[in-house]
Every structure is written in C-alpha cells, then in structure tokens.
Structure 1
Amino acid sequence: MSEAWLYDTIGAGYTATRRTEPRIAARILAALGDAGTVLNVGAGTGSYEPADRYVLAVEPSAVMRSQRPPEAAPCLIGSAASLPFDDGAFDAAMSVASVHHWPDPIAGLRELRRVARRVVVFTHDTGRAGWLDRFWLTRDYLPEVADLLIGRPSIGELAAAIGAGIEPVPIPWDCADGFFEAFWRRPEAYLEERVRRGVSVWTKAGAEAERRAVRDLRADLDSGRWAERNRDLLGLDAADMGLRLLIA
C-alpha cells in the first residue's frame, strides 16, 4: 500500500481531526534551530510547517495536497524515496508522522540527510517498550498493529541511519492533533468514526479488527473496566506513548 494510494483513499476528511498541536510544534521548531530554508517531506495538509522561514513541501497524495490551506508552503508532488534536489540544498529537512508510511524508511531518511544539513523527524517508537505494550489501545484492543510492524526498522535503526539523537515527546492530555495516540486520556474519542478515519492504522488493521476493537472498548467504558485498568493515566497532564523526535 503506497503513501499516495492510502491517503488518496482515506484522507478526504483528514483536516476534521488532524491539525497542529502547538506544544509539539514548539518542540519541532526548536529542533529546527536557525534553519532558514526547510524541506517538509510527506507534508500532508501542512500541519507543523514553520511560518517564520522559507518552507518547500513534498507530498505524494493529491487528496492531501488539495486540503493544504492557501497560506501553506508551496508543495511539489513527490516522496522521500527520490528527492529532486542537490546535496545540501536546504538548511533543514523535516518530516512529521510520515516515515511509517514510507516503503523504505532508511533510504528515505538518508535522502533527507543528503539534501539538508539538519534533519528533524517526528515519528513513533513502535517497539514493545515504546508503543505496543505501553499504549493501552494497541495492547488491549488492537493487537493486529503488531503484524503491521513486521520487517519495519526500529527507532534505533532509524536514528542510526542518519546519526540522529532520539528525544521523547510527551503527548498532552488535550492534544489538538488527532493522531493515533492523541486520545490516550480521552478513550471515548476512539468510538467516533471521524476520529478513526483520520488515522491510517485503523484502515491498515482492517475492518473486522476495527469493529471488534470499537465494540470491546465501548463495553469496557460502559462497565468501568477501562478506567480500572488505566487509573494511573487519569491524573496525568501528559504521557509518553512512544512519540519521538529524531534530530540529526
């Protein structure tokens, strides 16, 4: 399933739930440092693009490109696999919640490293300690996610490919961006069709797994079992659910 095909299929309502979360944006902006020119790869609808510097976007999906607002950066058709730029053409290259869709993440990251002096990637640690066991949604309701990760590089392998450091990014409980882990303290949100359609994991896991997960989560919310299992989360303002910044 290609990057473009997936979001041309499910991306029509993306902006209904997916938008810039200011606290995460601040982390990305800080990581970009003093970069004056920025390439945003897998740019989607333009969330997290810094407004105070020159940005050029690259996005393979026509549906996603069509939802970019008029004030967003100019956007080219393309993907991380082969960037049509000279070595070191940009001060920085960034990618936000996109690497997990790339057919060859290692090669894509090396392309970012080739065209930019600095690389900033916002992604997931999908290992068991980082995501599968830590996040209650994958652990208790959607174990099929583990099958989607077979053969995919670990966060350590991604970082090593470009000589990046790894920084955890806690998710605020009231996160404005509706990515997969965003509603860790608001489980009722996962019962909403529009929330699930803004997250590719549900489509990749399949309709049967989605129906079962939603049914079981609804039952556990009604019975109080979810709250009992996850009582340690209820008082937290932010939680580490495996989101990471790679900075090289």
Structure 2
Amino acid sequence: MSAYSISREWLTIPILPCASVVETLDFWVMLGYTITYKQTRPYQYGVVERGGYALHFGHVKGLDKQANSFTGCLVVVQDAAAVYNELAGRFKQHTGKVPHTGVPRMSRMKPGATRFTLTDVSGNAVIFISHGERDQEDWEAADKREQSRMMKALAVAKRFRDYKNDDVMAAKTLDVALKHRERESPKEVAEVLLMRIELANAMNDEKRVAECNAILQQLGVEEDELLLINKRYKTI
C-alpha cells in the first residue's frame, strides 16, 4: 500500500448502495461505528464514521442484497487481525456467531493474513487491509518462479481464498497439485492437505475431508509438526 499517500487537498467519498438506510446504519453501529448523518426523507442517505474515516450509504430502490457482489471499498488499518477479532467479537455478542456465509458475513481470516472482507446487510464488500508492504508481498508470492509445486499451489490458493474470496478455485488449485504429490516434500504435501481440509470444511465437503485425512496419515509427518502447520489454517 506504499503507493498511497494521505492528502486532504482532494477527498473522495464513494457512496455505497443500501436496501434500507436504517437497517444498514444499525448494522454498522453494532460493529462500533457512530452515525454522523441520517436522512429518510425525501430520500434515504446515511453516514457512519470510525477511526477517522466515513462510510456513506444511499438507498437504491429494488436492490437485491443477496446478489449485490460488485460494490464495496477498501479500509486501510494498522492491524487487520486486531480489527477482525474485535468485529468478530461484536458479531458474537449481538448475534451469537460469526457468519461466514450469506449476508451479512465475514471472510475467514487466518494467522498472518493481512486482510479480510466484511459484507454488510446490503451486500457491500468492505475490505480491511493492514497498512504496509505485507499485503502486496503476499499477493506477489504466487508469481515467484523458484518455488516447489506445493508452495506455488499454496500461494495461488491463498490468493484465491484471501484476495478473491473464491474457495472453489482455491480448492481446485490444491487438488491439481495433489495429483502430482509423489515426488514432493511430505511436509509441503501435508501443508497443502491441511489447507485443502480447511476449505473442504468451509464448503461442507465431508467426503473430501476424509480423503485428505487418509492421505495425510500416510505421509509419516510427525504429529507435532502437523499441529504447528495446522495453526496457519485455523480462523483467528
């Protein structure tokens, strides 16, 4: 994110669509934001603020929030993981769980990740990203040439999962790599399998979970090593 510099000479304020300004503002208040503007007539418009920035919302008649997958914005923060934990805690406090599917939802953030996506009640995808170079470096990891087949597959799969929220393509990437696992490092194959198991669990694919676990048991990787690797694929 180093290409972005903060300047108040020009200030752009995107306006995100909402199905209901009241419902949308209430949702963001639940997550710790403050309403700074609210209008319901003659048209619906609202603003919430937190951390020195604002989200603006305008009512769109007939908006299908379940199908709204094309609007959103980026929010650059100091520590995306800390923000994730706080927002997840607020979800649990008010709804009893952290939704990872449907609308609203939060993506599954893993240890060491630099971003997550929060989809609000109107279907807007608000992407929280840690300030600094790490986010770009993690994206570029998939383009490195001098790496093993398994490490390449992991980097590409993480790009699909964490940057594009595409679990299906992430899973397909790992499945292709696993077909060529015979000459690869057992520890690297184990890491691919553990990530594939995490994806299969997220997609409720019990059959694939069982298949991957069966392969995992045949690798001969020590249990403590598996536990250490598996920590990278647990939602924080």
Q: TM-score, normalised by structure 1?
A: 0.24
Answer 1 or 2: higher relative contact order, Cα 8 Å, separation at least 6.
Answer: 1
Larger radius of gyration: 2
Q: TM-score, normalised by structure 2?
A: 0.25
